[in-house]
């Protein structure tokens, strides 16, 4: 609020109290102003008819707020114009047109100086600081802010599914008594504004892609792209120009033939169509009782609310999202693939000194030359694939036995470990001499603890 607006509001309060019968002393004490100011405004109010000569209510009514009740005093400093002001005054209309068109003030100044120097005009002597003071005095610097409009993001039918996360509520587990956060994963189609939501406990890659696949099933097709922020489940590294996508998300997108658009950090305006529905979905759920009956019950309750929401006329399209989706957008979606995508788990870690990579508390072997290097692990329900620099190193069967902790391929075993295998040269030659000889050699290999004593063997 400017000083002028504050003065106008205080003048209005003082005159309203005077009209209501307040005394000068009481008004000055309650509003923390001087008595001389109250007396001056009392005489001015009588002059404008707000008060009569006896101090009561006058014949004129106060103008509606926020109009000023008295004319603003003239600042005599504004009557004194500098030489630079006189030079810029003939070009005020030209400057205003450029600012209204969205030009920055510095661009207008540079173009004005270049033109004036070319034409050898006196305005070329104006400095940049004087130019900015001229804009401030005449409030021309506000033109760019009022006329510079952010262009609307328009989507074609089936072009984009826009996604975002939001906290729905806190939940206390009745079984354990621990509090948890219930999240909602909300998606809206950019053209029809058809709204969907999935309730989840976490925002990891597996949960996110499973919820996204569920939305594809509900739509009955696949959009051209999905627009989302840059969470770790989608983008390992956020960037304004080229984000590094999570390999699991990339494989998901390749399976469905959809493009992932991970937006730059701190730029929510590029997905405004989903920013506004987040509090709207939260409001749809607010009538739900505080009693917790499970995530399935809450999802069913929210689904019923969303059915009604998609049947209401949207304020922008002026049509019902469900109707617009069925009539125009559903046909523009690509068909779903014949097989559903098997959601994989992602892990990034360092190859240990023993040549193994940890994944889900199990260990899988790679060649020793990769020890100390970073590796990417993708795991499905059956296979575990290990990558390094985009190159596939090894593929293991996923360990499902709780009593087994390691999966080591034969060619990754150490020399003493290979010596104890059934097909080692030591056990083959010992077995040719007899079963007891083989048992004795195996015992000697085990006592070596990584050292093969060929003399004893």
pLDDT in tens, 323-378: 999 999 999 999 999 888 887 888 888 999 888 999 989 999 998 888 899 888 88
Strand partners of residue 383: 397
Look at residue 97 and tell me if it is in a domain.
yes
Look at residue 457 and tell me if it is in a domain.
no
Q: Are residues 257 and 361 in the same domain?
A: no
Looking at the 3D structure of the chain, how many domains does it have? 5
d(CA 361, CA 184): 29
* Residue 108 belongs to domain spanning: 83-147
Tokens of 52: 């009569």
Last residue of some domain: 10, 38, 73?
Answer: 73
Angular region, 389: left φ>0, alpha ψ -120 to 50, beta rest: left
Tens-place pLDDT, residues 280-305? 999 999 889 888 888 999 999 999 99
d(CA 270, CA 266): 10
Last residue of some domain: 13, 42, 73?
Answer: 73
Look at residue 130 and tell me if it is in a domain.
yes
Tens-place pLDDT, residues 37-64? 999 999 988 888 888 888 888 888 888 8
pLDDT for residue 258: 93
Averaged pLDDT, 174-178 = 80
Look at residue 240 and tell me if it is in a domain.
yes
pLDDT for residue 154: 87
Q: Are residues 257 and 222 in the same domain?
A: yes
d(CA 50, CA 44): 9
pLDDT for residue 66: 76
**Residue 449: pLDDT over 70:** no
Q: Are residues 95 and 56 in the same domain?
A: no
Averaged pLDDT, 21-26 = 89
CATH number at residue 46: 1.10.10
pLDDT for residue 196: 96
d(CA 46, CA 56): 10
CATH number at residue 256: 3.30.420.10
pLDDT for residue 364: 93
**Residue 440: pLDDT over 70:** yes
Q: Are residues 267 and 396 in the same domain?
A: no
Q: Which has the minimum average pLDDT: 25-34, 70-79, 303-312, 354-363?
A: 70-79
State whether residue 367 is helix, strand or coil. Answer: coil
Q: Are residues 29 and 65 in the same domain?
A: yes
pLDDT for residue 75: 65
Q: Are residues 165 and 277 in the same domain?
A: yes
- CA atoms within a 13 Å half-sphere pointing along the CA-CB vector of 337: 12
Q: Which of 9, 19, 329, 16 is nearest to 159 (CA)?
A: 329
Look at residue 78 and tell me if it is in a domain.
no
Q: Which of 51, 274, 239 is nearest to 160 (CA)?
A: 274
Tens-place pLDDT, residues 92-110? 888 888 888 888 888 889 8
Higher pLDDT, 102 or 190: 190
Strand partners of residue 394: 386
pLDDT for residue 78: 62
Strand partners of residue 384: 379, 396
Q: Are residues 194 and 319 in the same domain?
A: yes
Look at residue 153 and tell me if it is in a domain.
no
Averaged pLDDT, 403-431 = 73
Q: Are residues 351 and 431 in the same domain?
A: no
Q: Are residues 419 and 401 in the same domain?
A: no
Q: Are residues 400 and 443 in the same domain?
A: no
**Residue 445: pLDDT over 70:** no
Last residue of some domain: 11, 42, 73?
Answer: 73
Look at residue 243 and tell me if it is in a domain.
yes
Give a three-class secondary structure readout of 112-147. HHHHHHHHCCHHHHCCHHHHHHHHHHCCHHHHHHHH
């Amino acid at each position: 609020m400017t000083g002028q607006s504050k003065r106008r509001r205080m003048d209005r309060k003082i005159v309203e109290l005077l009209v209501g019968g307040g005394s000068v002393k009481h008004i000055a004490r309650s509003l923390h102003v001087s008595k001389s100011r109250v007396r001056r405004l009392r005489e001015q109010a009588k002059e404008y008819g707000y008060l009569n000569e006896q101090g009561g209510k006058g014949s004129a009514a106060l103008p509606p707020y926020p109009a000023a009740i008295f004319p603003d005093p003239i600042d005599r400093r504004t009557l004194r114009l500098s030489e630079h002001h006189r030079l810029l005054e003939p070009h005020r209309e030209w400057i205003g047109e450029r600012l209204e068109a969205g030009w920055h003030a510095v661009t207008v100044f540079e173009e004005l100086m270049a033109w004036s120097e070319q034409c050898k005009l006196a305005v070329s002597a104006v400095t940049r600081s004087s130019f900015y003071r001229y804009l401030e005095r005449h409030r021309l610097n506000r033109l760019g802010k009022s006329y510079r409009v952010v262009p609307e993001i328009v989507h074609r039918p089936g072009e984009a599914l826009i996604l975002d996360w939001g906290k729905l509520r806190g939940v206390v587990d009745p079984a354990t008594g621990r509090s948890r956060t219930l999240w909602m994963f909300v998606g809206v189609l950019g053209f029809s504004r058809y709204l969907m939501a999935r309730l989840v406990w976490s925002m990891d890659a597996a949960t996110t892609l499973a919820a996204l696949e569920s939305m594809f099933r509900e739509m009955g097709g696949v959009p051209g792209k999905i627009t989302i922020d840059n969470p770790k489940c989608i983008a390992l590294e956020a960037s304004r120009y080229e984000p590094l996508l999570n390999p699991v998300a990339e494989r998901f997108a390749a399976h469905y033939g959809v493009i992932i658009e991970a937006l730059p950090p701190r730029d929510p305006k590029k997905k405004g169509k989903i920013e506004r529905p987040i509090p709207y979905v939260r409001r749809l759920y607010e009538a739900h009782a505080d009693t917790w009956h499970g995530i399935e019950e809450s999802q069913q309750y929210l689904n019923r609310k969303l059915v009604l929401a998609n049947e209401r006329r949207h304020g922008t399209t002026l049509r019902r999202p469900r109707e617009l989706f069925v009539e125009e957008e559903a046909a523009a979606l690509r068909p779903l693939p014949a097989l559903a995508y098997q959601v994989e788990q992602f892990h990034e870690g360092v190859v240990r000194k023993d040549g193994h990579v940890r994944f889900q508390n199990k260990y899988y072997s790679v060649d020793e030359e990769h020890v100390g290097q970073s590796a990417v692990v993708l795991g499905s329900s059956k296979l575990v694939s290990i990558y390094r620099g985009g190159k596939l190193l090894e593929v293991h069967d996923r360990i499902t036995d709780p009593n087994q902790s390691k999966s080591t391929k034969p060619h990754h075993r150490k020399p003493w470990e290979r010596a104890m295998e059934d097909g080692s040269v030591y056990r083959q030659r010992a077995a040719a001499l007899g079963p007891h000889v083989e048992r004795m050699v195996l015992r000697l290999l085990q006592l070596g603890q990584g050292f093969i004593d060929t003399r004893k063997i």
